[in-house]
Structure 1
Amino acid sequence: MKLSQLNQIKFMLNPIVIGMLGLSLHVQAQTDHNEYAMVVTANRSAQSISDIAATVLVIEKEQIEEQAKSGVEFKDLLANLIPSLDVGSQSRSNAGQNMRGRSALVMIDGISLNSSRAISRQFDAINPFNIARIEVVSGASAMYGGGSLGGIINIITKKGSDDEEGAHYEAWLGAQSGFNSSEDSQYQVAQAYSFNKEKLDARLSISYEKTGGMYDSNGDMILQDSTQTSSQYVSQFDVMGSIGYDISDTKRLELTAQLYNSGQDSEYGIDYGYGYSNYFTTDEIDMVKGYELDEQAKTTRYMLAANYIDSKFYNQTMNIQLFTRYESLRFNPFYAGTLSASEQNTTVVGSKFVFTAKPTNKLSLVYGADAEFEQFDATQTYYDTTTAAISNGLVLNSVGETDRYPGIDTLSLAAFLQADYDLSDAFNVHAGVRYQYSYISVDDFVDVEQQYASLAGDTTDYDAIEGGSNSYSNTLFNVGALYKLNKQQQVWVNFSQGFEIPDSAKYYGQGDYNDDGSVASSTNVSDNPLEGIKTNSIELGWRLSNESLYTQLTAYYSLSDKKIEAQDDYSIEVVDDKVRIYGLEAQLDYYLTDALHAGGNFNYIMSETKEDGKWGNLDATSASPSKLTAYISWQQDLYNTRLQTSQMFDYTDADDNDLEGYNTVDLLAGVQLPVGKLQFGITNLLNTEYQTLWSQRAVYYYGGSVNENLFNFEGQGRTYSVNYNVKF
């Protein structure tokens, strides 16, 4: 098929049946190379991947560890292995890293990391040391509700029940460097203890990772991400614990807890020039020593979950999940007339109830309800601009704090029903419905500019912009079918609807004021309620699997009735311009022998918006470029090696803004020792010079009339890594 013909493809499927409501999925791999012989179970209701009408991908622990221990950063690791996911940012943020051109729902053990405030740090959430596998479904999902228009990534953590009976210890020791200077280093220490005995199992792990400076292919320190914060000079702690108890043969209780902290402590900062002179020129900008800031960027997250399963609850399986999540996300100061940094806090409590039943041999039902309550607030810390200006932007002294966004409370309630019916041994149909109700309460809020004016000495008594409440009620449908051509091949088609509420914090609380401090005009709940966005998706898929080959090819199409548009002040508007995204997603793995195999994946994607009655390419700040990855791998009992390459392709939007593609190559190798294993890696093997995808997006999003070099976050140059791990 020629690439030009792809514009005629308007098919898409919605994955809906695995991981109902985001509860934990479990995967058991067979001994051969047949990827689709895996059994996926949701709530103890087993289903082979070959029976699922969805683009399903399971990233196993061995794949994750091979990449992570070889120095591949987590966001890049995911992009290498997930066809529909954009390339990584190499910064703390996964902003603009979409799935099939849209936002993804990211979860840990079924607990969503997405929030009403669209902050992109879902991948700054866990150390790969604690990951057992990752479940991925591409495309929108009516069964998950909002936030999953592009797909679902469910990170499953390691548990004591994963191990054989007895006590076990696991340790990782790793180091990484490009040997550019004494600052160019990274190391990791991780330790876990687990046991599995009779009815009780548990695991406790502690990992610590410390990064230094990062250097580009020319040996220069990479500019720190001034917009979304950097991953340089960061100390990361990830503490996880779980305990499970089999109450009986049919009942199980499991508790999981996590404490995650990823904080920056850097002596290096961006040289903005005296009086911020470099901010308005076209000069190159460097990193220099002398950065002084008491509270630097960090991510802090606490999670606690309880799962109860009863597989014989009135002839059905009942799964109950109760959870809470708290996170505090702090940014570094950003200069935009004033010099300030925000800290944004989210607290979530929720529950999920899922029941699975099989009334007849041909009919299966999954139904349930979920509820979630979220509280959000944010502050803005301002810094002395004079001190910063005479120190080239390096010395930052706080002068006060205001609110950054209105406080927002969000209540979400949902109920769903999913039915699967076997018309024959080869032909299955399914249909489902989800009713979602969301209630949003917005606090009264004085516009942030007026708050800063008061902080700076303005004595005007500014009125608050009125808050209020708004509700959203949606019924989402899905319907589809799967047909087995034979034991090795299946084709499927599916239609599904998705719905999302845009970022309320970046919409409400904006206003203009009269001289006496009264509100002249504003964006408030009663006069300008924020509209939701509905997306219809359809997918047509085919897969083939046998002992030496598995491959799947999917044509997809999605259409949204509205578009989110960023404003010059970084607030958002929802406009009535439709957005359509369509393309081809594919994956192939072929075993030439038991030891030698090769393959890759690609996502050819077109993103368009309809303005003034005409379709044109979507803005470069949000559109996903096409990408291709390929690899060849040799694996034996004692040795393994993998050569892999990733290619992002060029993209040009309707305003002729370009995203320049690039290619990187990595070499991964390992050797089994009498005790433990050594894993080596060389990332960016050819020392390619490139600008990351997020950097190129940031230029268009933040650049405007300022020096674009402020957002020139070069890709990391050739880097070497070594890791020793042992489990006993």
Structure 2
Amino acid sequence: MLKTSLTLVALAISSQSFADDAINKKLTAEEMEHVVVSGSRVFESIDEVPASVTIISQKQIEEHLKVNPELQSLLAQMVPGLAPDTGSSSNTGQSLRGRAPLVMIDGVPQSTPLRNGSLGVKTLDPSAIARIEVIKGATSVYGNGASGGIINYITKQATSDGQPEGEISLSSRFSAVKLEESAGARISAAINGRADKVSYLFTASYEENGVQRDAEGDILGLQYGLSDAVTENYFTKLGYDFDDEKQLQFSYNYFSSQQKTDLGDVVGNLNDGEKTYAIHVPKELQKKGKPQGPDGNENITLKYTDYALFTNTQMTLDLYMQDIENVFFFSTNLANPDEGYEGGQSIIRSEKKGARATFNTLVDFDNVEATFIYGLDALNDVTSQPLVDGRVWVPEMDMESLAGFLQTKWVINNDLVIKAGVRQESIDLTVDDYETLKLCRSETQCSVPLSVKGDTIDYDATTYNVGVKYNLLEAFSPFANYSQGSDISDIGRLLRAATVNDIGLIQTEASIIDNYEIGFTSQFDDLRFEFAAYRSTSEFGTTNSFNEVTGVYEPVRAPQEIWGYETLVDYKINPTLKLVATYSYVEGKNTEDDIYLGSRQISPPKGTANLNWQPNDELSLTVSYLYVGSRKRFEPNTDGDYVGDQGPISSYNLFNLSGRYNFSDNWQAFMGVENLFNNDYYPARAQSYTYGGYNIKGLGTTVTLGATYSF
């Protein structure tokens, strides 16, 4: 059995390893858009990556921030293969190629894969992010939880060479349909500088939302809602340069986003076509329990980098700690009348202590450039899901893992790229004896509590990846890859719904995901075209099945196959006008029963377009378009109702507008309009999820106005 001390003493590298400092020092902003670090854990040209990669630049982040400050909305608009925005604080149903992505900040996991509460995307304010890298397809590069790929937020660095530099931004967001109570306020500030060998960066943001209104002017329902939400983010990064080759860096992130409201829901029914919306109600009818959302989540990272440890060898070591407490809404489905509980409210608690060491050795032969990336990862993850009232829904899971890896890249004659790697991971997961909760949907529909014997479960997995890319012609650069991911995510959901009395009898086997992908890129002067098709299989997928006797959704583990394709067109129409358009399609089945997977995993077809007009340095305007297609794979039950995540999805279209004007070198005004034509619609998740309270309409026309001062 692994010991926690291994986690504390092992050495580590975060995702950006050598890239964050090296990129800022050596590459221009335009060159940065062609560099990726998350896939191999060292920075490399995107043209040498035989896989689908999406890079969201700081400029794109800032443009979208003018329309909507939520990262979910940004990612849905910019990333082919990522499901549409949910319009809420939860990213449940927002899968990446039909599987769960691992969300990270500078390589530190923000997701809680042992009990996936789907709140990992909203963990950092966009104003602290320099770029976002999305690597698609199952991978084991960062360990457990990346069955769908990686979403890595690369934070900003100090860029000033001396005197302090910074900016302050003020803005307000409000409904254009009905202004009453909808106006919110946001302030963000940043400062960075350098004093001799010390660099520093501080960012802070604070936002209070007003109520959010749909196209009819009604307040959106409160389940995972953003009305009256208060969001705070404080981020700092301090660096010390021992010399040109050795650096020490410390970073700290604090994030809180909670809904503090005096509203109450009027709950509708999806099957009857009734929306859920919120109104002012007496205190006894307001949302019960604690405010929902992340309650002061913290990350601490200490990183040491030596760019010349040996000849042609770089090294980065880092230690990280994380404390997460995500509070969920009060639910009557967590009731137990026999013990006096009318419902309950759960909290996902997760504490991580991790350490990684990565070495990067470059060897240059006559016509071959070889890169060897190797090292060790160690992690201790303690996760549980208690209820606020003291009941234990998911017992404490104590995971200790140790992994070694080797990743190689061979560039032959500057045009043929071959990558291959292996990762060996050993995991111990310990759960003490526990008893499942008695939960009641009604006085006659209750689950039966069960005493379960705890144990330590050992997982050992060896995963491989290999890829090839041929860059001989700019007009056609094909690639193909095969990658595996080892996934023991959401063990907590299996434990809380246990139907056997011994943890060793629960189907907690790790799932090995096999991911296959082919594609190509083509560059013709001002036109770039990308295409990728993929297929992924897993022997143990996890879906839900509703037990009508107990009223509980029980996990079902069965083999799955998911397939799809994505396209992207990037066209510089003229020196002032640029268009980026994407289309993605994904589908999947439970291959054991030959039935389609629900919308928790599979999203409808999605198309996006972003047209940017910048006639000069002072003015910029962007029109963005989102198309969500229909998906109707399921039939209603004998009562004529849809169940679970199987509701039919009808297509919808949305347009946004944003712009900014620089009055001087220091002052900038900006505006954004979300849902420009006030389309009255239900987001895809709201159409497909039949669970109570999810049938919430999308935002009506919403306006953002603000100004930024730089110094």
TM range (shorter): 0.7 to 0.9
| CA–CA distance in structure 2, aligned partners of residues 68 and 639 of structure 1 | 17
Match of 1:353 among 352, 357, 375: 357
The aligned counterpart of 2:190 is: 192
> Structure 1 residue 360: deviation in Å?
3.7
Instruction: Compare 641-650 and 667-676 and name the one that shifted more.
Output: 667-676
Residue 335 (structure 1) aligned with residue 314 (structure 2): no
> Structure 1 residue 605: deviation in Å?
1.9
> Structure 1 residue 169: deviation in Å?
1.9
| CA–CA distance in structure 2, aligned partners of residues 163 and 436 of structure 1 | 41
Residue 695 (structure 1) aligned with residue 686 (structure 2): yes
Instruction: Compare 533-542 and 365-374 and name the one that shifted more.
Output: 533-542
Q: Residue 410 and residue 44 in structure 1: after superposition, are their counterparts in 2 closer, same or farther (change >3 A)? A: closer
Do 1:259 and 1:303's aligned partners in 2 also have CA atoms closer than 8 Å? Answer: yes
Residue aligned with 1:304, SS: strand
Q: Residue 551 and residue 445 in structure 1: after superposition, are their counterparts in 2 closer, same or farther (change >3 A)? A: same
Residue aligned with 1:143, SS: coil
Match of 1:124 among 122, 129, 133: 122
Match of 1:148 among 138, 146, 149: 146
Q: Residue 174 and residue 497 in structure 1: after superposition, are their counterparts in 2 closer, same or farther (change >3 A)? A: same
The aligned counterpart of 1:538 is: 516
The aligned counterpart of 1:445 is: 434
Do 1:70 and 1:669's aligned partners in 2 also have CA atoms closer than 8 Å? Answer: no
RMSD (Å) for aligned C-alpha atoms: 2.8
| CA–CA distance in structure 2, aligned partners of residues 208 and 282 of structure 1 | 37
| CA–CA distance in structure 2, aligned partners of residues 432 and 191 of structure 1 | 42
Residue 719 (structure 1) aligned with residue 702 (structure 2): yes
Match of 2:675 among 679, 684, 701: 684
| CA–CA distance in structure 2, aligned partners of residues 650 and 450 of structure 1 | 35
| CA–CA distance in structure 2, aligned partners of residues 75 and 448 of structure 1 | 33
Superposition pairs of residues 182-261 of structure 1, within 5 angstroms? 182-225=180-223, 229-261=224-256
The aligned counterpart of 2:416 is: 427
| CA–CA distance in structure 1, aligned partners of residues 259 and 38 of structure 2 | 39
> Structure 1 residue 182: deviation in Å?
2.4
Q: What TM-score comes out, normalization by structure 2 length?
A: 0.87
Q: Residue 330 and residue 470 in structure 1: after superposition, are their counterparts in 2 closer, same or farther (change >3 A)? A: same
Q: Deviations over 1:396-434 (max 9, x none)?
A: xxxx43122111111121111011223332212121111
> Structure 1 residue 478: deviation in Å?
0.8
Residue 305 (structure 1) aligned with residue 310 (structure 2): no
Do 1:174 and 1:724's aligned partners in 2 also have CA atoms closer than 8 Å? Answer: yes
Residue aligned with 2:413, SS: coil
> Structure 1 residue 712: deviation in Å?
1.5
The aligned counterpart of 2:45 is: 48
The aligned counterpart of 1:91 is: 88
Do 2:231 and 2:256's aligned partners in 1 also have CA atoms closer than 8 Å? Answer: yes
| CA–CA distance in structure 2, aligned partners of residues 463 and 335 of structure 1 | 21
> Structure 1 residue 236: deviation in Å?
0.7
Amino acid at match of 2:67: S
Match of 1:506 among 477, 490, 493: 493
> Structure 1 residue 94: deviation in Å?
0.5
Amino acid at match of 1:720: V
Superposition pairs of residues 385-400 of structure 1, within 5 angstroms? 400=389
Q: Residue 131 and residue 122 in structure 1: after superposition, are their counterparts in 2 closer, same or farther (change >3 A)? A: same
Q: Residue 167 and residue 48 in structure 1: after superposition, are their counterparts in 2 closer, same or farther (change >3 A)? A: same
The aligned counterpart of 2:561 is: 580
Residue 621 (structure 1) aligned with residue 600 (structure 2): yes
The aligned counterpart of 1:396 is: none
Amino acid at match of 1:581: I
Q: Residue 624 and residue 23 in structure 1: after superposition, are their counterparts in 2 closer, same or farther (change >3 A)? A: same
Gaps of 5+ in 2: 1-11, 336-341, 443-448, 637-646
The aligned counterpart of 1:457 is: none
Do 1:418 and 1:430's aligned partners in 2 also have CA atoms closer than 8 Å? Answer: yes
Q: Deviations over 1:600-640 (max 9, x none)?
A: 1111222222134xx44322332121100012210120100
Do 1:698 and 1:711's aligned partners in 2 also have CA atoms closer than 8 Å? Answer: yes
| CA–CA distance in structure 1, aligned partners of residues 458 and 34 of structure 2 | 44
| CA–CA distance in structure 2, aligned partners of residues 318 and 598 of structure 1 | 40
Residue aligned with 1:659, SS: coil
Amino acid at match of 1:174: S
Q: Residue 570 and residue 493 in structure 1: after superposition, are their counterparts in 2 closer, same or farther (change >3 A)? A: farther
| CA–CA distance in structure 1, aligned partners of residues 330 and 121 of structure 2 | 22
Residue 561 (structure 1) aligned with residue 539 (structure 2): yes
Q: Deviations over 1:29-76 (max 9, x none)?
A: 977978875475999965222222122222111110111123353211
Amino acid at match of 1:552: E
Q: Deviations over 1:628-681 (max 9, x none)?
A: 001221012010001111011111224464122211000111111123211111
The aligned counterpart of 1:706 is: none
Residue aligned with 2:258, SS: strand
Residue aligned with 2:453, SS: coil
Do 1:470 and 1:529's aligned partners in 2 also have CA atoms closer than 8 Å? Answer: no
| CA–CA distance in structure 1, aligned partners of residues 626 and 482 of structure 2 | 31
The aligned counterpart of 2:67 is: 70
Q: Residue 555 and residue 44 in structure 1: after superposition, are their counterparts in 2 closer, same or farther (change >3 A)? A: closer
> Structure 1 residue 441: deviation in Å?
0.7
Amino acid at match of 2:654: T
Q: What TM-score comes out, normalization by structure 1 length?
A: 0.85
Amino acid at match of 2:575: D
> Structure 1 residue 693: deviation in Å?
2.1
Amino acid at match of 2:670: Q
Amino acid at match of 1:287: A
The aligned counterpart of 1:649 is: 629
| CA–CA distance in structure 2, aligned partners of residues 527 and 138 of structure 1 | 33
> Structure 1 residue 159: deviation in Å?
2.1
> Structure 1 residue 711: deviation in Å?
2.6
Q: Residue 570 and residue 111 in structure 1: after superposition, are their counterparts in 2 closer, same or farther (change >3 A)? A: farther
| CA–CA distance in structure 2, aligned partners of residues 626 and 505 of structure 1 | 31
Instruction: Compare 681-690 and 650-659 and name the one that shifted more.
Output: 650-659
Instruction: Compare 318-327 and 43-52 and name the one that shifted more.
Output: 43-52
Q: Residue 409 and residue 41 in structure 1: after superposition, are their counterparts in 2 closer, same or farther (change >3 A)? A: closer
> Structure 1 residue 22: deviation in Å?
2.9
Identity %: 25
Residue 410 (structure 1) aligned with residue 410 (structure 2): no
The aligned counterpart of 2:257 is: 262
The aligned counterpart of 2:371 is: 364
Do 1:70 and 1:723's aligned partners in 2 also have CA atoms closer than 8 Å? Answer: no
The aligned counterpart of 2:57 is: 60
The aligned counterpart of 2:573 is: 592
Residue aligned with 2:62, SS: helix
Match of 1:471 among 458, 463, 476: 458
Amino acid at match of 1:467: G
> Structure 1 residue 191: deviation in Å?
1.5
The aligned counterpart of 2:587 is: 606
Q: Residue 100 and residue 505 in structure 1: after superposition, are their counterparts in 2 closer, same or farther (change >3 A)? A: same
Match of 2:480 among 475, 485, 493: 493
| CA–CA distance in structure 2, aligned partners of residues 198 and 44 of structure 1 | 29
| CA–CA distance in structure 2, aligned partners of residues 262 and 598 of structure 1 | 34
| CA–CA distance in structure 2, aligned partners of residues 57 and 284 of structure 1 | 35
Amino acid at match of 2:677: L
The aligned counterpart of 2:382 is: 375
Superposition pairs of residues 264-279 of structure 1, within 5 angstroms? 264-271=259-266
| CA–CA distance in structure 1, aligned partners of residues 38 and 137 of structure 2 | 20
Q: Residue 70 and residue 573 in structure 1: after superposition, are their counterparts in 2 closer, same or farther (change >3 A)? A: closer
Gaps of 5+ in 1: 1-18, 382-399, 454-461, 512-520, 704-709
Length, aligned pairs only: 656
Q: Deviations over 1:503-534 (max 9, x none)?
A: 122212546xxxxxxxxx63531333512211
Q: Residue 654 and residue 284 in structure 1: after superposition, are their counterparts in 2 closer, same or farther (change >3 A)? A: closer
Amino acid at match of 1:446: E
The aligned counterpart of 2:528 is: 550
